[in-house]
Structure 1
Amino acid sequence: MTQASSPTRVTVGELAARFLEQCGVKAAFGVISIHNMPILDAFNTRQKIRFVSARGEAGACNMADAYARVTGVMGVCVTSTGTGAGNAAGALVEALTAGTPMLHLTGQIESDYLDRDLGFIHEAPAQLAMLQAVGKAAFRIRNPETALATLREAHRLAFTAPCGPVSIEIPIDIQAMLLDLPADLAPLFVAPVQAASSEVDALAAQLLTAKRPLLWLGGGARGARAAVERFVKMGWGVVTSVQGRGILAEDHPASLGSYNLQKPAEELYQSCDAMLVVGSRLRSNETLRYKLRLPKALYRIDANALAHNRGYNSDYFVQGDALATLNALADKLEGRMKVDAALAGDVKKARDQAAGMVDATLGAYAALKNGLATQAGKDLWWVRDITLSNSMWGNRAPMLDHPRAGVHALGGGIGQGLAMSIGTAIADTEHKLGRKTVALIGDGGFMLNVGELACAVQEKANIVMLVMNDSCYGVIKNIQDDIYGSRHCYVDLHTPDFAQFCASLKVTHFRLGEPAQTQDVLAKAFAASGPVVVEVDMKAWGPFAAKFAGPILKKD
């Protein structure tokens, strides 16, 4: 039984709630259970943190992940023990892949019965080991006296580069125990990694003579926009990974956007004499499995020392925070470089050519891409699931102007976009960010976690969901065409009548049956409030002009 808190004595559950408030958390996500009620009771009693009741722990974790990506504040997911914690595992892998600072609070059975192999209901053998395997770290709070220290350390680790999710399991009896309210509940300060000044000097010396330099920006550089703009003023060009989109507004003439794979981009790289990669892993699917030809002189800045020579060899590597290190480097270079004045024009030309090549693959779907850009403008959160349309165009368009505007399933798992869009919309509301959440989701991924649509309705989440309905796993079907002699198996999907399904949940639904309807339907969808499903009937629209059959590989 949970003991009543007082002004000076609080339960461990309330301590956790108060600590999260001090971290700036305004919303948390999860599923209530008998093994997390002291925490959620404190949320409800204090009314400082909005708790969003997801329909499953996987969805809750994806919501918390997206919330953190959009706000920069720690995402919080609360689950039950055993199966509940296990349900969150895949979403924790996604957060780990994306480097999202998150706290996963899960329950545990009573301490007296823990780890005794008694078959106690809701216990999962080696739960802590499982959580350590799918996150950055995992802890167990064993008594009230260590609760605050554990919470602080989890927060510190979550925000220490490379960032990631940290789990804490708290036995239900510990959650309900009382302790004196600490005078100071503030999280520990996480200092940015400071680059050695001698290393910055050495890097500056190597870059000083570059005439056609490029910055490649990844997700680790999302906080470095001000410093990036200093390099752009010096004449540098910018290209980004998908995770780094919007660090420099993508309509800036110096931005190649994330058109990093197309032939015009590679040709541009070969005309450049230096590339500085900042906060990016140069992932396989964005470098043609590390065979994309980058400039011969390749330099890197990363807060993670293990990034040196990973994927590509570095001519020089500096470990440091992106913003601080780029600013220090700019101090050494401003007014001293003589960058080729033609570079900016060459970047824009390469971008226009690459974008044209992408558009040529879309066929009728160019109307959807262009219609969305017209209707949404740049004031949107662009959330995407792993679906054919995202691979074809969503990872590169529409143009983004905010370093946190793009949210996508970086790890490649389907079915996460719906929940991520809910977390994004809640973040926008609670932090008063003023952007529209738009989600691009395939019908297969949509159905995987479709129960979260009920959560979206309950929470009045303002989302326009573009559900690309081809009644199959489109990418897999294309791979079967390409490699398996068009032997199609296990890819065709039975989908509901989405109009009737949405009506049963009181979700506004529009069917987009032909390209000519795009502007009218999108205008109505954006004018509506709450969750809106725009079902794009891909069977009526027809195929893309080109087939996408998995990540592009280098052709010798």
Structure 2
Amino acid sequence: MTTCGEFLVKQLEAWGVDTVFGIPGVHTVELYRGLPHSGIRHITPRHEQGAGFMADGYARASGKPGVCFIITGPGMTNILTAMAQAYADSIPMLVISSVNERDRLGLGKGYLHELPDQRGLTAGVTAFSYTLMSVEELPAVLARAFAVFEGERPRPVHIELPLDIITAPADHLHVQAKPRTSRSAPPAALLREAADKLRRAERPLLLLGGGCIEAQAEARVLAAALDAPTALTINAKGLLPPGHPLLLGSNQSLVPVRQLALEADVVLAIGTELSETDYDVVFDGNFKLAGELIRIDIDARQLQRNFTPTLAIQSDAREAMRLLLEELPTRAVDPQSPGARRTAAVQAQLAEDFAGWAHYRTLFATVLDALPAARFVGDSTQTVYSGNHLVELDGARRWFNSSTGYGTLGYGLPAAIGARLAEPDRPVVCLIGDGGIQFSLPELASAVEAQVPVIVLLWNNQGYGEIKRYMQRRDITPLGVDIFTPDFLAIARGFGCAAERARDHAHLADLLRSAPLDRPLLIEILEAPPFHP
């Protein structure tokens, strides 16, 4: 007999799932019956939140949904934070959980792992949550989930299987081919209107967000066609390469870029929420637009949030760019064009603003010299905050972190593990602080067990340094921020990792080049001298 749990594994494998993150429990063991006979790799985190963050990192690196198998009750409550981060950043994640038998749902009799309403818990962090009440529903519900991942604004989906459904016969079901899903295209009339406004613009500005990461080639052609200075959100880094004459970086919270935005007569914003964590990280409300705003987004509701557009176009970013380019003149990138000169003037001012950040520039230059193809996966920590402004990479999906959107701590390490599993041949550098890593430190054991050679660049400032400075600026006596800092090198070695403290930049480069290929390497960098000037 083939059970529903076994059929689920077969169907997921047929649809391209190659990795599942989960911690087996008495309520999910029947989901595991089919895994050993499949081609799907199972990764065991040390906490369900780690499973969710790993799935998130896997999805961001690969473009495919990260998949988790989670137990009833505490498994679901543990993974909710990771689902919230993925929801905030529009990351595809499929969370398959168990739930009590159908005739026990919602009775409140104290059954193992019982919750009144698991779906209710996930309602705010999913595109949808569904309780499977019959085996026959499974193929259609999975198809609906993948339609969200591939045809809508991607976000987590939760499907829960009652214990009696997981073990129910599914011999009568047949593995189906994955339905082909298209994304929405823009209305031709609105697109022509947008093109007309952009052709007449004298001071255009292009704002690109994470919704554009599948449209890298189109984004580069579009920037040149518009001759528009281009600002990228954190999740859009790499759409324009380093040194591009129209690249403003991810500096929308700084005065020179804000002044440029205020002076723009037409602003084209594609695949971006225009939200605080990308455009106002100084939290003063001073990112403003005075010109006409054209917004393109796959989510119709997002088109009206934060900034009201003159023209709102619901569409997939790549398709909209492709069709828009058919209406615009073709231009080569010209370092002497009006748009490039406007960009250069802003970059000169930014260079003055960043004059005191030379030590961070040197740090990232050292890493990229040793590992030029590296992907950076970050937490909320000082190296991430500085890198958000300073680092530019040639290619999307190479820089992401939890300082945007939901902004949770502990994300960096498990997400970096997931990213390295998604693309094993690309080095992954985890940027994390001594406070954040203590949220998810046991996931080092997961990486050792799975032989994932992630490099953990641990910035140690002996506590929650950024929060301490924030308290001091607001004249609040620091409390709860000078936390006890353990011996991370001893702990990492105890888990089976390689671990060293970098003495200087040259030593850091040597450590990076000689990183082991079968286990993690933790490199501790002390914020205090001598490493940090």
Q: TM-score range by the shorter chain?
A: over 0.9
Letter in 2 for 1:383: V
TM-score, normalised relative to structure 2: 0.93
Counterpart check, 1:387 vs 2:397: no
Number of the residue aligned with 1:370: 365
* Number of equivalenced pairs: 526
Within 5 Å, which residues of 2 pair with 1:116-131? 116-131=107-122
Does the Cα contact within 8 Å between 1:214 and 1:238 map onto a contact in 2?
Answer: yes
Does the Cα contact within 8 Å between 1:367 and 1:518 map onto a contact in 2?
Answer: no
TM-score, normalised relative to structure 1: 0.89
Q: 1:45 to 1:295 in 2, by over 3 A?
A: same
Shift of 1:412: 0.8
Aligned counterpart for 2:492 among listed residues 502, 506, 525: 502
The answer for unaligned runs of 5 or more in structure 2 is none
Q: Deviations over 1:83-139 (max 9, x none)?
A: 111100111100100101111001112223222221111111211211223322111
Letter in 1 for 2:261: Y
Number of the residue aligned with 1:553: none
Number of the residue aligned with 1:333: 328
Q: 1:63 to 1:335 in 2, by over 3 A?
A: closer
In structure 2, how many angstroms separate the alpha carbons of the residues matched to 1:503 and 1:518?
18
Number of the residue aligned with 1:301: 296
Q: Deviations over 1:309-362 (max 9, x none)?
A: 32122121111111111111110112599998232243244235425523x343
Q: 1:29 to 1:251 in 2, by over 3 A?
A: farther
In structure 1, how many angstroms separate the alpha carbons of the residues matched to 2:348 and 2:400?
24
In structure 2, how many angstroms separate the alpha carbons of the residues matched to 1:38 and 1:195?
45
Does the Cα contact within 8 Å between 1:55 and 1:451 map onto a contact in 2?
Answer: yes
Counterpart check, 1:322 vs 2:317: yes
Q: 1:25 to 1:133 in 2, by over 3 A?
A: same
Q: Is the partner of 1:25 in helix, strand or coil?
A: coil
Q: 1:197 to 1:444 in 2, by over 3 A?
A: same
In structure 2, how many angstroms separate the alpha carbons of the residues matched to 1:247 and 1:297?
24
Number of the residue aligned with 1:488: 478
Does the Cα contact within 8 Å between 2:59 and 2:92 map onto a contact in 1?
Answer: yes
Counterpart check, 1:282 vs 2:258: no
Q: Return 329-338 or 186-195, whichever deviates more.
A: 329-338
In structure 1, how many angstroms separate the alpha carbons of the residues matched to 2:321 and 2:207?
12
Q: Is the partner of 2:309 in helix, strand or coil?
A: coil
Letter in 2 for 1:508: A
Identity of aligned residues (%): 28
Number of the residue aligned with 2:525: 536
Letter in 1 for 2:362: A
Counterpart check, 1:180 vs 2:176: no
Shift of 1:401: 1.6
Q: 1:461 to 1:447 in 2, by over 3 A?
A: same
Aligned counterpart for 2:246 among listed residues 247, 251, 254: 254
Number of the residue aligned with 1:347: 343
The answer for unaligned runs of 5 or more in structure 1 is 545-556
Does the Cα contact within 8 Å between 1:510 and 1:534 map onto a contact in 2?
Answer: yes
Number of the residue aligned with 1:35: 27
Counterpart check, 1:423 vs 2:415: no
In structure 2, how many angstroms separate the alpha carbons of the residues matched to 1:331 and 1:91?
40
Number of the residue aligned with 1:477: 468
Letter in 1 for 2:381: T
Does the Cα contact within 8 Å between 1:239 and 1:257 map onto a contact in 2?
Answer: yes
Q: 1:43 to 1:468 in 2, by over 3 A?
A: same
Q: 1:173 to 1:100 in 2, by over 3 A?
A: same
Shift of 1:540: 3.3
Does the Cα contact within 8 Å between 1:219 and 1:244 map onto a contact in 2?
Answer: yes
Q: Return 169-178 or 243-252, whichever deviates more.
A: 243-252
In structure 2, how many angstroms separate the alpha carbons of the residues matched to 1:134 and 1:233?
38
Q: Return 157-166 or 437-446, whichever deviates more.
A: 157-166
Q: Is the partner of 1:28 in helix, strand or coil?
A: strand
Does the Cα contact within 8 Å between 1:250 and 1:256 map onto a contact in 2?
Answer: no
Aligned counterpart for 1:273 among listed residues 256, 260, 265: 265
Q: Is the partner of 1:41 in helix, strand or coil?
A: coil
Shift of 1:239: 1.3
Number of the residue aligned with 2:135: 144
Number of the residue aligned with 1:11: 3
Q: Deviations over 1:192-232 (max 9, x none)?
A: 11211111111112111123322210011111122212223
Q: 1:338 to 1:209 in 2, by over 3 A?
A: farther
Number of the residue aligned with 1:92: 83
Shift of 1:67: 0.8
